[in-house]
Structure 1
Amino acid sequence: EISRVQADSPGRDDHSNRSLNNEWVEIRNTTRQAVNLRGWTLRDADGNRYRFHDIRIAGRGTIRVHTGVGRDSRTDVFQGKREYIWGNRGDTATLRDDRGRTVDTDTWGRRR
């Protein structure tokens, strides 16, 4: 499930990699079994999409999907974007499995 979203990076939106990486979506595995997210996608309302590579999320574990550039680990992955993805005032995050089925969505604020 999508457990938390930090769409509005703290501080000024100065497009620095640090600021971009302070914008993230946290995904939580609610089962006791590890899940391989290979082929799963995370998408915003505008159609920006991140496709997970061969990454396992531990049972009851979490992983954060950051907007900017960084080195993927077991708990953090990076989209490699140079622009903000998530709308500060409103957006929808959609998590889909490797077959395209919607697993969870999280909507906040109002879209223009």
Structure 2
Amino acid sequence: MQADSPGHDNRSLNAEWIEITNTTRHSVNLDGWTLKDEDGHRYRFNHVRLEGRSTIRIHIGEGRDTRTDLFQDRRDYVWGNHSDTATLRDDRGRVIDTESWGGRRHHHNHR
């Protein structure tokens, strides 16, 4: 999983995304799986199948879902730029993957 938000954030919400890659040869049914950040924002997958050896991007902004891109249809930013952790869980609540970023370069304390 990786998170990326190039350039100026307020220009394009859809430039901010989380990428999930299925490294197995078998397709995975993501129905009921969730992606959650440290602040508790949660995105729930609905009728999504990730084919074997394929990648899907979950964008923050609005758009039309395709086989390779999903959109949360949010109007504000979810993933913290300086540091955040995204957690992917399956439909039984088991943690499949976590991805953390930032926190080392920036020493701003927001709390």
> What SS is found at the alignment partner of 2:88?
strand
TM-score (norm 2): 0.89
Counterpart position of 1:50: 43
Alignment of 1:11 with 2:4, yes or no, is no
2: CA distance, partners of 1:21 / 1:46 = 20
In the TM superposition, what is the alpha-carbon distance from 1:109 to its structure 2 partner? 1.6
Counterpart position of 1:41: 34
Alignment of 1:91 with 2:89, yes or no, is no
1: CA distance, partners of 2:20 / 2:8 = 25
- Out of 19, 31, 35, the position equivalent to 2:24 is 31
- The superposition leaves residues 29-81 of structure 1 with CA deviations (integer Å, 9 ceiling, x where unpaired) of 11100011000000100000000000111101100000000000100000010
TM-score (norm 1): 0.89
CA RMSD of aligned residues (A): 1.2
Q: How many residues align?
A: 105
Alignment of 1:106 with 2:102, yes or no, is no
% identical aligned pairs: 62
> What SS is found at the alignment partner of 1:21?
helix
Hey, which bits of structure 1, 4+ residues long, moved more than 4 A?
Answer: none
Counterpart position of 1:75: 68
**Residue segments in structure 2 that go unaligned for 5+ positions in a row:** 104-108
**Residue segments in structure 1 that go unaligned for 5+ positions in a row:** none
